[in-house]
Structure formats: C-alpha cells, structure tokens
C-alpha cells in the first residue's frame, strides 16, 4: 500500500500508467467491450469485479490529460436507435470536471466503429465488469507540468 494512492490502482496498473508517454492512450472498458480483440497489440489488464467509474476516478487522480489536444477523452456514442441508458456519462463528467481545469470541454464522442479503431491503437486496455452499456472511455495522456 502507498499513502495517497488509491488502492484501486494495482501495481500492474501503476506500472502501465508510468510507462505510458505523452500522447499514449488507455481504454477503460465496460464488460461488453471486446478487450482482448481490441487490445491484441496492447497491454490488457483485467480488473474484474470493478466498474468503470471507480477505476476512472482513481486513474484521473494521477493521470494528466493531454493538454495539447482539445479532446483527450473519448466516449463511445450510442448506436442510433439504441435506447441504452447512458446516464453513466454524467458521472464521468463530474469526475473529469473535478480533475481537469478545462472541465468537460475535453470530452468527445466517437461513433462505435471509430471508437474501436482508436481503441486498437491504445497502449493499454483495462477490462472491467461494468454492466452499463456505452461506458467505455479512452484517455490520452499529457505531460506533468
């Protein structure tokens, strides 16, 4: 255990976050996301038993978002005609607004298959047990100033 570090951040996850460089991305994926398929060229970390919000909160406390791009946070858009509940996004917005000086302006949505293409480029994918649909998040790492 470390003081001031969320116990949600396992040694493996901390190592990955430290290894990532400016511009690298990490996906925090819901339980329906094809983590192994999308992450076949990435590091895939299993965090079964946890949801995206609790992991996102812990990551955002130590992870600088890229200050040189307008939208370092990407969410997967709901497929047209799908009425899945996306209220989890409100939770993300509150967390991001707390940790990011630019507030929620840093968030963009990507069409499902565009999101998958970006996820394939990620340095790492965190597979969770999140049951909410469209709960996937891609974060782009910035610099510690």
**Cα 59 off chain centre by:** 8
Note the pLDDT tens digit of each residue in 26-71. Answer: 999 999 999 999 999 999 999 999 999 999 999 999 999 999 999 9
Using CB atoms within 10 Å of the CB of residue 58, give its burial: 0 to 12 exposed, 13 to 18 middle, 19+ buried: buried
Q: What is the CATH number of the domain that holds 58?
A: 3.40.1650.10
DSSP string spanning 77-96?
PPPTT-----THHHHHHHHH
User: Does 129 map to a domain?
Assistant: yes
Domain that residue 66 falls in: 11-140
Q: How many domains does the chain have?
A: 1
Catalytic site residues? 22
User: Does 1 map to a domain?
Assistant: no
Mention every residue, 6+ apart, whose C-beta is less than 8 A from residue 87.
Answer: none
Note the pLDDT tens digit of each residue in 46-55. Answer: 999 999 999 9
User: Does 4 map to a domain?
Assistant: no
């Amino acid at each position: 255990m470390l003081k001031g570090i969320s116990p949600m951040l396992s040694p493996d996850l901390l190592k990955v976050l430290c290894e990532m460089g400016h511009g690298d991305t990490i996906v925090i994926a819901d339980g329906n996301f094809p983590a192994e398929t999308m992450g076949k060229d990435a590091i895939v970390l299993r965090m079964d038993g946890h949801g995206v919000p609790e992991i996102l909160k812990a990551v955002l406390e130590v992870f600088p978002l890229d200050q040189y791009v307008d939208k370092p946070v990407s969410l997967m858009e709901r497929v047209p005609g799908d009425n899945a509940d996306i209220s989890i996004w409100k939770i993300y917005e509150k967390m991001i607004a707390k940790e990011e000086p630019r507030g929620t302006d840093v968030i963009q949505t990507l069409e499902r298959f565009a999101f998958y293409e970006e996820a394939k480029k990620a340095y790492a994918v965190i597979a969770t047990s999140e049951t909410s649909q469209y709960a996937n998040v891609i974060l782009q790492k910035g610099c510690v100033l």
